[in-house]
Amino acid sequence: MTSRVRVGIAGTGSCMPERVMTNHDFAKLVDTSDEWIVQRTGIKERRFVSEGECTSDLCVVAAQRALESAGLKATDVDLVITGTLTPDYLLPAVSCLIQDRIGAKRAGAFDLSAACTGFLTALSVGESFVAAGRAKCVLVIGAESLSRFLDLQDRSSCILFGDGAGAAILRPWDDCRTGEVLKTTLGADGSGFELIHMKGGGAKQPPTQESVARGDHFIRLKGREVFRFAVTKMSDLIVEMAEGYSYEDIGLIVPHQVNARIIESAMERVGWPLDKVFINIDKYGNTSAGTIPIALDEARRAGRLESGKLLISVAFGAGLTWGGTLIRW
Ligand code: UT7
Local structure of residue 183 (DSSP, 8 states): E
Single-letter code of the amino acid located at 42: G
- Could you list the beta-strand ranges (E) of the chain: 7-15, 19-22, 45-48, 79-83, 108-112, 138-145, 163-172, 180-188, 196-197, 220-221, 250-255, 310-317, 321-328
CA of 158 to the centre of ligand 1 (A): 11
Helix (H) or strand (E) segment spanning residue 175? helix 173-176
Single-letter code of the amino acid located at 190: G
**pLDDT tens digits along 32-73:** 999 999 999 999 999 999 999 999 999 999 999 999 999 999
CA of 276 to the centre of ligand 1 (A): 27
Cα 65 from Cα 175, distance rounded (Å): 19
Tell whether ligand 1 has an atom less than 6 A from the beta carbon of residue 94. no
Tell whether ligand 1 has an atom less than 6 A from the beta carbon of residue 200. no
Which ranges in 52-152 belong to alpha helices (H)?
Answer: 55-70, 94-102, 118-131
Q: Which of 1-15, 75-89, 100-114, 206-220 has the weakest average pLDDT?
A: 1-15
- 1, part of any domain: no
| Whether 274 and 224 share a structural domain | yes
Catalytic residue numbers, as ranges: 116, 256, 286
- Model pTM score: 0.97
- 54, part of any domain: yes
Would strands 310-317 and 220-221 be described as parallel, antiparallel, or unpaired?
unpaired
Tell whether ligand 1 has an atom less than 6 A from the beta carbon of residue 220. no
Among residues 3, 5, 40, the alpha carbon closest in space to that of 181 is found at 5
Tell whether ligand 1 has an atom less than 6 A from the beta carbon of residue 258. yes
| Whether 205 and 106 share a structural domain | no
Total count of residues recorded for the chain: 329
Atom of ligand 1 nearest to the CA of 259: 11
Decide if 286 contacts 160 (C-beta within 8 A): yes
**pLDDT tens digits along 289-328:** 999 999 999 999 999 999 999 999 999 999 999 999 999 9
For residue 1, is pLDDT > 90?
no
Tell whether ligand 1 has an atom less than 6 A from the beta carbon of residue 196. yes
**pLDDT tens digits along 128-146:** 999 999 999 999 999 999 9
| Whether 190 and 145 share a structural domain | no
Write the residue with the smallest CA distance to atom 5 of ligand 1.
223
Cα 194 from Cα 199, distance rounded (Å): 9
Tell whether ligand 1 has an atom less than 6 A from the beta carbon of residue 265. no
Which 3 state secondary structure label does DSSP give 235? helix
| Whether 163 and 202 share a structural domain | no
CA of 181 to the centre of ligand 1 (A): 35
CA of 152 to the centre of ligand 1 (A): 15
Identify any residues that bridge with 168 across adjacent strands, giving them in sequence order: 12, 140
3-state secondary structure 278-321: CCCHHHHCECHHHHHHHHHHHHHHCCCCCCCCEEEEEEEECCCE
Cα 317 from Cα 321, distance rounded (Å): 5
| Whether 167 and 185 share a structural domain | no
Tell whether ligand 1 has an atom less than 6 A from the beta carbon of residue 116. yes
Local structure of residue 258 (DSSP, 8 states): S
For residue 182, is pLDDT > 70?
yes
CA of 44 to the centre of ligand 1 (A): 15
Quote the pLDDT of residue 3: 86
Domain that holds residue 263: 181-328
Domain boundary among 112, 147, 177: 177
- 2, part of any domain: no
| Whether 130 and 267 share a structural domain | no
Write the residue with the smallest CA distance to atom 10 of ligand 1.
223
For residue 2, is pLDDT > 80?
no
Quote the pLDDT of residue 270: 97
When pLDDT is averaged across residues 191-211 and rounded to a whole number, the result is: 96
When pLDDT is averaged across residues 256-280 and rounded to a whole number, the result is: 97
